[in-house]
């Protein structure tokens, strides 16, 4: 009987040793991810991105192309496919395209290296490498990391949970959380192709603008066409609406919202003017590109501007930080009325 127990004990020890040998440490997985990010020639991916704004959730479709970690194409569209923007990075610079308005904006930017990007594989790997205190766990099918973010407003979105597929190390999901650990931005990858190929013109501005417009006609601009006024949840920065003015411009009405309180700022909203399909306007921007989650815009020390569903928006303030302007912009998408 003693001999039989000894045999069972040896078997259990052997199984424990074998299972321990098969498990990978955080350092092992981080090394594997880094090698994949450095060695890959590029990829194509699709994902569903959900942005939590107040009590409302907004869903977007994201298509990502990466060639040699140098050329990028990221297209963001809503579920109805009636609003689309695209980031292109090529040898000439970084561009934000708004096909519905037939406009493109050029930035001198080190995007995407200057911040966390929840939809880019190599950026997620960099976040993991940069956080020596990253938490790691392994499940049956996945590797899961919890890391700090590298956002300019990282105090508002300090943490993220990143899940990879064990089989091919493809990203599965990313949850970007607020200080209370509530998900604000969630990216769920539906397809990742690490063997994707690209044409020479895949990252050309004109080709991508034309291709996007075939699926989304330029918005008809009627001077008397009304648009819904969006009111930010100003309490996020301790402010309140103290004045609202409406004026007429060549494109219709312009709304100016003035907020006071702990921090003052002004919001300007007006119908965006689209160019004819025969011409593409590229404007050079002095500020940095801002990723708002639902749109891409331009941010400076004292202003943030963007276009969404055919309307131009601008926030101007000497009191708000860049992170606070982004927070105010995101809060406007909940369609809060006065």
The confidence score (pLDDT) of residue 58 equals: 87
The confidence score (pLDDT) of residue 120 equals: 98
Q: What percent of the chain has pLDDT over 70?
A: 86
234's CB contacts (< 8 A; 6+ apart) are 240, 241, 259, 261, 328, 331
Per-residue pLDDT of 132-153, as tens digits, reads 999 999 999 999 999 999 988 7
Indicate if the pLDDT at residue 191 is higher than 90.
yes
**Closest CA relative to residue 215, chosen from 36, 66, 61:** 61
Question: Which CATH number among 1.10.20.60, 3.40.50.720, 2.170.190.11, 2.50.20.10 corresponds to the domain 26-215?
Answer: 2.50.20.10
Got the DSSP string for 211-261? HHHHHSPPPP--TT---PPPB--GGGGTEEEEEEEEEEETTEEEEEEEEEE
- When pLDDT is cut at 50, 70 and 90, the band that residue 83 belongs to is confident
- When pLDDT is cut at 50, 70 and 90, the band that residue 332 belongs to is confident
C-alpha to C-alpha distance for 290 and 57, rounded to whole angstroms = 20
Least confident of 75-79, 140-144, 187-191, 200-204: 75-79
Got the DSSP string for 253-271? EEEEEEEEESS-EEEEEEE
- When pLDDT is cut at 50, 70 and 90, the band that residue 216 belongs to is low
Per-residue pLDDT of 155-179, as tens digits, reads 889 999 999 999 999 999 999 999 9
What pTM value is reported for the model? 0.84
Question: What residue has token string 């301790």?
Answer: 238
Distance of CA 302 to the CA centre of its chain: 22
The confidence score (pLDDT) of residue 282 equals: 84
Least confident of 63-67, 99-103, 240-244: 99-103
Three-state SS at 5? helix
Sequence ranges of the chain with CATH classification 2.50.20.10: 26-215
Q: Which long-range contacts (CB under 8 A, 24 or more apart) does 32-38 make?
A: 32/169, 33/125, 33/128, 33/164, 33/169, 34/125, 34/129, 36/125, 36/169, 36/194, 37/69, 37/121, 37/122, 37/125, 37/126
């Amino acid at each position: 009987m003693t001999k039989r127990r000894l045999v069972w004990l040896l078997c259990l020890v052997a199984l424990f040793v074998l299972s321990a040998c098969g498990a990978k440490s955080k350092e092992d997985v981080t090394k594997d991810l880094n090698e994949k990010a450095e060695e890959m020639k590029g990829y194509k991916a699709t994902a569903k991105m959900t942005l939590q704004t107040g009590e409302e959730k907004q869903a977007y479709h994201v298509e990502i192309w990466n060639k040699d970690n140098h050329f990028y194409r990221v297209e963001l569209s809503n579920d109805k496919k009636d609003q689309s923007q695209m980031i292109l990075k090529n040898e000439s610079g970084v561009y934000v395209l708004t096909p519905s308005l037939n406009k493109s904006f050029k930035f001198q930017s080190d995007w995407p290296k200057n911040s966390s990007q929840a939809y880019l594989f190599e950026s997620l790997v960099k976040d993991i490498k940069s956080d020596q205190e990253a938490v790691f766990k392994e499940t049956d099918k996945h590797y899961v990391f919890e890391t700090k973010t590298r956002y300019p407003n990282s105090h508002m979105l300090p943490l993220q949970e990143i899940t990879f597929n064990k089989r091919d190390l493809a990203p599965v999901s990313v949850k970007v959380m607020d200080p209370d650990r509530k998900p604000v931005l969630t990216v769920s990858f539906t397809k990742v192709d690490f063997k994707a190929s690209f044409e020479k013109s895949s990252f050309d501005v004109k080709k991508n603008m034309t291709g996007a417009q075939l699926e989304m006609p330029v918005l008809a601009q009627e001077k008397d066409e009304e648009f819904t006024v969006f009111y930010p949840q100003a309490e996020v920065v301790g402010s309140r609406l103290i004045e609202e003015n409406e004026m007429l411009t060549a494109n219709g009405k312009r709304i100016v919202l003035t907020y006071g309180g702990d921090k003052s700022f002004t919001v300007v909203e007006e119908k965006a003017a689209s160019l004819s399909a025969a011409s593409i306007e590229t404007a050079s921007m002095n500020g940095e590109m801002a990723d708002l989650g639902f749109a891409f815009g331009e941010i400076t020390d004292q202003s943030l501007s963007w276009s969404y569903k055919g309307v131009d928006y601008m926030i101007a303030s000497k009191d708000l930080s860049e992170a606070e302007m982004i927070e105010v912009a995101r809060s406007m998408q909940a369609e809060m009325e006065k």
